[in-house]
């Protein structure tokens, strides 16, 4: 995924383009670039690496423009390099692109036959070249439409045309693009955060839309070329929400934001006066006989946790599958299946495709998403929001616990609707859930102990995470967090599976993190730990006070809050997140922008 900004301003835009790109850097940071109209011609500046490298280029050669576009790249076609950095230029066209043009090879060959040569290895340059070709015979908007008609794949673009000093054109299909309405200035951006510091009045372009903005207005057209209006909404992407405050990294801040994030999320589902849970959209769970959750990465682990509760509390069969497999498997879904997509960004390509597939099968679809204006939020039949606020760290933390909170509340709603619990039990569960923000805050108090362990963990080559029941997906999440930000190989296992193979990995060098607050399966997990300890494994047990009293000899114990098993995935998430965080800090890794990753993956 890449980030896009465009500004038709009345004053210099260089600083604002950079400010916006910094807000978008979580979407990709392989290279960055800007372009603007300088004395009637478009000039560009580009650099490999993060925005600060681009800032250095601009310090030597400022871009004195009041109309400009910018881009931060997550490489798909072509290595990260200055040559492959956006904006791409061809003749009169200078363009930034987010997405993948699937038929680019074929278009490139056709353009080469016309005598055109290519500067980069990207699919994006093909759009610039095609548009320049169309501009030979058509005015800008017609040329844009003719270009878009030839593209297969996903795109959000922003384009400058040499000779059209006060115009930026844009288009979207498969990748998001918003129009920002300022005071005598207009904006295009990948999301509300991109234009957040300049305006909070935003219109979301729909699939296939294209647009032309000048100082005063946006002319929007649908895919067929008909002029259309898209509602202008006031959004709350205030600049303050994307500041680090006193924290060193966004991830650290976001770990500590979790009590608030969960509280805000739960308040969208629970009425504290009645103790009832309601699924936004007034869905009647009694009408469904199965839940199918689709998601990727961390969001899929939130789904796996929810499965325990949908089945145990509500007796509702629940399957969870990573969207990249689900979408191509032609799963045998039944009419009574409720399809639930879980996604922080609401833009992940595989999850969106799986959601669309379910919709095409006639299933009711719901989207548990954090970005409420995202494509999934708009396309699903039901929006089940999380209220984590903008999550900037690439490693998901508060979005994860907010997803778990929302899904747990929904499982309670399903249990009530299906007559599996009465209103007293429902009220007991909601009272418990409403305690979770306090307990999550309490759980972060293990921070110092975990920080002290970090130097030792940072030396490990491999780390294993074990859990049972709902702690098993949390073990998977712990391993993913460590891998993605500290680059240490880690795996999560169901504790009972250990002796079926992975126990062969145990030696004195491999830390084993066991997540086991006291529950019905605690004794079994202790037996698994003893098996590990007997083979010289270094066990770090994360548990509660009662669990600590039963820890096997030699285990290092981290004591978290005592809580009901319903809350354990929420309450025991911060310790494993903090563990990954401090190991990454210890290793000097780039915590918020780990190598090779992007915040949300809007390409396959
Ligand atoms: C989490 O730390 C990851 N960076 C990643 O697994 C992420 O959860 C996944 O790509 C799904 O993203 P989404 O929630 O925006 O759909």
Cβ distance 367 to 338 under 8 Å? Answer: no
Indicate if ligand 1 lies below 6 Å from the C-beta of 344.
yes
Q: What percent of the chain has pLDDT over 70?
A: 98
Structure tokens at 45: 């500046």
Query: Per mean pLDDT, which range of 97-111, 127-141, 159-173, 240-254 is the poorest?
Result: 240-254
What's the pLDDT score for residue 143? 98
Fold type of domain 445-587: Rossmann fold (3.40.50)
Give the tens place of pLDDT for each residue, 389-408.
889 898 999 999 999 999 99
Query: Which CATH number fits the domain 254-443, given the four candidates 3.40.50.10490, 1.50.10.10, 3.30.70.20, 3.40.50.2300?
Result: 3.40.50.10490
From the alpha carbon of 394, which atom of ligand 1 is closest?
Answer: 4
CA dihedral 590, 596, 602, 603 (to 10 degrees): 180
The string over 378-388, giving b where at least 16 C-beta atoms fall within 10 Å of a residue's C-beta and e elsewhere, is bbbbbbbbbbb
From the alpha carbon of 399, which atom of ligand 1 is closest?
Answer: 14
3-state secondary structure of 219: strand
From the alpha carbon of 344, which atom of ligand 1 is closest?
Answer: 14
- How far is the centre of ligand 1, averaged over its atoms, from the C-alpha of 453 (Å)? 27
Enumerate the active-site residues. 2, 599
Cβ distance 46 to 57 under 8 Å? Answer: yes
Determine the residue of 27, 348, 351, 368 to mutate for testing ligand 1's pocket, defined as the one with the most ligand atoms within 8 A of the Cβ atom: 348
Q: Give the H or E element holding residue 578.
A: helix 573-586
Distance of CA 501 to the CA centre of its chain: 33
What's the pLDDT score for residue 238? 54
Give the tens place of pLDDT for each residue, 533-581.
878 888 999 999 999 998 888 899 999 999 999 999 999 999 999 999 9
**Band of pLDDT at residue 240, cut at 50, 70 and 90:** very low
Hunting for tokens 């548009």 — which residue is that? Answer: 131
Number of Cβ within 10 Å of residue 560's Cβ equals: 24
Nearest to 560 by CA among 518, 526, 513: 518
Structure tokens at 314: 């509500």
Q: Is the pLDDT of residue 28 over 80?
A: no
3-state secondary structure of 543: strand
**Band of pLDDT at residue 207, cut at 50, 70 and 90:** confident
Residue range 3-243, CATH number: 3.60.20.10
Indicate if ligand 1 lies below 6 Å from the C-beta of 123.
no
Cβ distance 193 to 390 under 8 Å? Answer: yes
Indicate if ligand 1 lies below 6 Å from the C-beta of 76.
no
DSSP letter string, 226-243: -EE---EEE----GGGG-
Cβ distance 456 to 579 under 8 Å? Answer: no
What distance in Å separates the CA atoms of residue 179 and residue 182, rounded to the nearest whole number? 10
Please list, in sequence order, all residues whose beta carbon lies within 8 angstroms of the beta carbon of residue 247, skipping any fewer than 6 positions away: 253, 256
Q: How far is CA 435 from CA 440, 540, 571, in A?
A: 9, 27, 10
Give the predicted TM-score (pTM) of the model: 0.77
Cβ distance 405 to 569 under 8 Å? Answer: no
Q: Is the pLDDT of residue 173 over 50?
A: yes
The yes-or-no answer to whether 3-243 and 445-587 have a common fold is no
Q: Where are the domains of the chain?
A: 3-243, 254-443, 445-587
Q: Please, which residues bridge with residue 42 across strands?
A: 37
- How far is the centre of ligand 1, averaged over its atoms, from the C-alpha of 294 (Å)? 12
**Band of pLDDT at residue 90, cut at 50, 70 and 90:** very high
Nearest to 192 by CA among 208, 203, 206: 203
Structure tokens at 73: 């790249």
Q: Give the H or E element holding residue 204.
A: strand 201-204
Nearest to 288 by CA among 426, 418, 421: 418
- How far is the centre of ligand 1, averaged over its atoms, from the C-alpha of 511 (Å)? 26
Cβ distance 525 to 555 under 8 Å? Answer: no
Q: Is the pLDDT of residue 43 over 60?
A: yes
């Amino acid at each position: 995924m890449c980030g896009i900004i465009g500004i038709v301003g009345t004053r210099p835009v260089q600083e604002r383009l950079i400010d916006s790109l910094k807000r978008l850097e979580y979407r990709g940071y392989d290279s960055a670039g800007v372009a603007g109209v300088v004395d009637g011609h478009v000039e560009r500046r580009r650099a490999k690496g993060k925005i600060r490298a681009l800032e250095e280029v601009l310090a030597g050669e400022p871009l004195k423009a009041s109309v400009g576009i910018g881009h931060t790249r997550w490489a798909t076609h072509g290595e990260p390099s200055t040559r492959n950095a956006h904006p791409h230029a061809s003749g009169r066209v200078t363009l930034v692109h987010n997405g993948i043009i699937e038929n680019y090879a074929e278009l490139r060959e056709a353009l080469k036959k016309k005598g055109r040569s290519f500067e980069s290895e990207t699919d994006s340059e093909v759009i610039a070249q095609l548009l320049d070709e169309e501009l030979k015979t058509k005015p800008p908007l017609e040329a844009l439409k003719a270009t878009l008609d030839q593209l297969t794949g996903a795109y959000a673009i922003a384009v400058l045309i040499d000779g059209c000093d006060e115009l930026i054109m844009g288009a979207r299909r498969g990748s998001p693009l918003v129009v920002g309405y300022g005071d005598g200035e207009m904006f295009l951006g990948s999301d509300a955060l991109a234009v957040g510091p300049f305006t909070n009045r935003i219109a979301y372009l729909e699939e296939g839309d294209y647009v032309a903005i000048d100082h005063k207005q946006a002319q929007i057209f649908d895919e067929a070329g008909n002029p259309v209006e898209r509602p202008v909404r006031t959004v709350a992407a205030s600049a303050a929400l994307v500041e680090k405050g006193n924290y060193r990294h966004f991830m650290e801040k976001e770990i500590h934001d979790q009590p608030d994030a969960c509280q805000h999320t739960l308040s969208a589902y629970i009425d504290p006066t009645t103790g009832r849970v309601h699924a936004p959209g007034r869905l009647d769970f009694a009408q469904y006989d199965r839940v199918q959750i689709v998601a990727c990465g961390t969001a899929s682990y939130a789904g796996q946790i929810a499965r325990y509760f949908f089945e145990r509390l509500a007796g509702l069969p629940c399957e969870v599958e990573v969207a990249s497999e689900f979408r191509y498997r032609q799963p045998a879904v039944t009419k009574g299946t409720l399809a639930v997509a879980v996604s922080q960004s609401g833009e992940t390509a595989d999850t969106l495709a799986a959601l669309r597939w379910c919709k095409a099968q006639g299933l009711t679809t719901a989207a548990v998403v954090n970005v409420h204006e995202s494509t999934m939020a708009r396309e699903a039949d039901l929006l089940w929001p999380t209220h984590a606020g903008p999550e900037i760290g690439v490693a998901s933390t508060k979005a994860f616990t907010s997803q778990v909170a929302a899904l747990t509340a929904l499982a309670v709603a399903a249990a009530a609707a299906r007559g599996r619990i009465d209103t007293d039990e429902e009220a007991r569960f909601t009272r418990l859930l409403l305690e979770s923000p306090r307990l999550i805050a309490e759980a972060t108090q293990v921070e110092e102990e975990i920080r002290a362990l970090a130097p030792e963990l940072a030396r490990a080559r491999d780390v294993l995470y074990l859990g049972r029941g709902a702690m098993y997906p949390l073990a998977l999440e712990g391993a993913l967090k460590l891998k993605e930000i500290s680059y240490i190989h880690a795996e999560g296992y169901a504790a009972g599976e250990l002796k079926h193979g992975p126990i062969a990995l145990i030696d004195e060098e491999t830390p084993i993190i066991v997540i086991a607050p006291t529950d019905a399966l605690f004794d079994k997990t202790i037996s698994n730990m003893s098996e590990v300890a007997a083979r010289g494994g270094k066990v770090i047990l994360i548990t509660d006070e009662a669990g600590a009293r039963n820890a096997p000899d030699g285990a290092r114990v981290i004591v978290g809050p005592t809580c009901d098993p319903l809350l354990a995935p929420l309450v025991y998430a911060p310790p494993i997140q903090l563990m990954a965080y401090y190991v990454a800090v210890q290793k000097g890794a780039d915590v918020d922008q780990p190598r090779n990753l992007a915040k949300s993956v809007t390409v396959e």
